[in-house]
C-alpha cells in the first residue's frame, strides 16, 4: 500500500483535551478501507510510540460475520465484550472546554 493511502492516526494527550481524557483518532483512506475487505485488516502497536494501546481495524460484510470473528477470538482466549447497545459517541459535554 502506498504511503499516502495508509491509515492515519493522531493522539491527543489527556492534558490537551477539554475533559482530560486522551483521544485517539483514525482516518481511513478509501484504499485502506478497500484493503480491509475479505478478512484483511490493519493492526497498530502504538506501544512502539509510547501509547499503551494495540488496535486492530477490520472490515466484515455485516455484524453477523463480524460477530463470528469475535466469537472465534473468544474461543482462543481473547476477551470480547459486546457493547453494540451502548452509545459510545462523544457527548456534547465531552466537546466543551473545562
Query: Model confidence over 37-50: pLDDT tens digits?
Result: 766 788 889 899 88
Residue 92 reports pLDDT greater than 80: no
Predicted pLDDT of residue 93:
63
Give the CA angle between residues 15, 18, 19 to the nearest 5°.
85
Does 33 map to a domain? Answer: yes
Answer yes or no: is 70 within a domain. Answer: yes
User: Residue 94 — very low, low, confident or very high, per pLDDT cuts 50/70/90?
Assistant: low
| Cα dist from 63 to 18, 43, 68, 93, 96, whole Å | 33, 20, 9, 30, 33
Cβ atoms within 10 A of the Cβ of 15, count?
7
Average of pLDDT values for 55-73? 84
CB contact at 8 A, 26 and 60? no
Which pTM value belongs to this model?
Answer: 0.63
Q: What is the mean pLDDT of residues 53-59?
A: 85
**Residue 18 · residue 97 · CB < 8 Å:** yes
Q: How many domains does the chain have?
A: 1
57 in a domain, yes or no? Answer: yes
* 20 within a domain of the structure (yes/no): yes
Considering the domain boundaries, does residue 87 fall inside one? no
Report the chain's mean pLDDT, rounded to a whole number.
Answer: 81
- 53: domain range? 3-79
Distance CA 46, CA 54 (A): 6
Q: Evaluate whether residue 89 is within a structural domain.
A: no
- Domain annotation covers residue 32: yes
The mean per-residue pLDDT over the stretch 54-64 comes to 85
**85's grid cell:** 447497545
Amino acid at each position: 500500500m502506498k504511503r499516502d493511502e495508509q491509515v492515519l492516526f493522531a493522539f491527543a494527550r489527556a492534558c490537551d483535551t477539554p475533559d482530560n481524557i486522551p483521544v485517539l483518532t483514525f482516518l481511513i483512506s478509501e484504499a485502506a478501507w478497500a484493503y480491509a475487505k475479505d478478512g484483511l485488516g490493519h493492526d497498530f502497536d502504538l506501544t512502539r510510540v509510547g501509547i499503551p494501546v494495540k488496535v486492530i481495524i477490520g472490515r466484515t460484510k455485516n455484524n453477523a460475520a463480524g460477530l463470528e470473528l469475535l466469537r472465534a477470538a473468544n474461543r482462543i482466549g481473547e476477551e470480547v465484550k459486546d457493547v453494540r447497545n451502548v452509545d459510545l459517541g462523544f457527548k456534547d459535554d465531552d466537546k466543551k472546554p473545562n
